[in-house]
Amino acid sequence: MSKKILANDGIDATGKQLLEKAGFTVITDKVAQESLAKELNEKEFVALTVRSATKVRKDVIDACPNLKVIGRGGVGMDNIDVDYAKGKGINVINTPAASSNSVAELVFAHIFNSVRFLYDSNRQMPGNGNTKFEELKKAYAKGTELRGKTLGVIGFGRIGQYTAKIALGCGMKVLAFDPFVKEAKLDLEIHGLENASVIIKTGDMDVLLRNSDFISMHVPGGKVIGDAEIEKMKNGVVLVNAARGGVIDETALVNGLNSGKIAHAGLDVFENEPKPSEALLKHPKISLTPHIGAATNEAQERIGVELAEKIIAALK
């Protein structure tokens, strides 16, 4: 059996070393999507790892009889025809735990950006800080503290739970909704305090929408928030989406921002990646990042190691 692995969207050096130590040859040269099936087949790759950029659809799977493992560095696998691949006897693996903390911290980066207007201040200060200092000071004078406010977490899997931990550390209340999770025990990693934990029970979606000051999305896809859901929210709510593009309807979001119903939004994901809507990119109330939730050095190392260990186990 071939021992060649194509890491088409890259892999952390630690994970690569683990695979090489196990006797595999790891190629990290990027292959264009249209050439992927041909390259995998001709060079007899036994495993393929991807992140979100490379798509592994039926045509690729059908063309590559040597392929034994498809690995996704991350959580969601909507860029892979998972059931079809499994039906062909291919192992499909992902790394659901590795990026949880990184995504949760990015959610709060967007929240802090919003409540203290940093996303706009960092645009305005370089050009106008010398000439309009007092005007800018006045413009950003109505910040909001997080302590005592309520964070609604829609989707209470690993990332939602990590997000809730940070909220609790900031002195916030947490409401959670997840049809598949009744409750979760959160172990709080607080320096100097051992064995601290709290149990969060999930509740009703409408209760969350009506009572949350901030709402963060942690669902795998679908249209979850639209005009009807926004109408139920508090005036001045802040919405953050670092899950999947489109789980907050983008037209409804812009309408809510323009009406003042939504005070701010933080977006890491978009419906039309890699070409997000201009209405979002230029909106004065949105904090923006280009789908970097898992893009920390620590998360990438954890992802690489977890991928490597699972691939080695699958190909034994």
Do 272 and 134 fall within a single domain? yes
DSSP calls for 162-225: HHHHHHHHTT-EEEEE-TT-SEEEEEEEETTEEEEEEEEE---HHHHHHH-SEEEE--SSS--B
Residue 139's domain spans which residues? Answer: 100-288
Concerning whether 42 is annotated as a catalytic residue, the answer is no
Nearest to 311 by CA among 34, 36, 67, 65: 67
Concerning whether 72 is annotated as a catalytic residue, the answer is no
Instruction: Report pLDDT digits (tens) over 54-70.
Output: 999 999 999 999 999 99
Do 176 and 306 fall within a single domain? no
CB contact set of 138 (below 8 Å; sequence gap of 6+)? none
Do 14 and 89 fall within a single domain? yes
Do 256 and 130 fall within a single domain? yes
Instruction: Report pLDDT digits (tens) over 258-306.
Output: 999 999 999 999 999 999 999 999 999 999 999 999 999 999 999 999 9
Do 123 and 251 fall within a single domain? yes
Do 34 and 113 fall within a single domain? no
CA distance 45 to 1: 10
Write down the catalytic residue from 135, 145, 183, 273.
Answer: 273
Are 47 and 6 a contacting pair, CB within 8 Å? yes
Q: How many domains does the chain have?
A: 2
Do 82 and 130 fall within a single domain? no
Do 87 and 133 fall within a single domain? no
Concerning whether 302 is annotated as a catalytic residue, the answer is no
Do 44 and 169 fall within a single domain? no
Write down the catalytic residue from 72, 158, 218, 244.
Answer: 244
Do 204 and 257 fall within a single domain? yes
Reported confidence tier of residue 251, pLDDT bands at 50, 70, 90? very high
Total-model pTM: 0.90
Q: Which 8-state DSSP code applies to residue 151? A: E
Do 89 and 210 fall within a single domain? no
CA distance 143 to 112: 10
Q: Which CATH number characterizes residue 223's domain?
A: 3.40.50.720
Write down the catalytic residue from 110, 218, 264, 291.
Answer: 291
User: Within 13 A of 140's CA, how many CA atoms are on the CB side?
Assistant: 21
Q: Which 8-state DSSP code applies to residue 294? A: T
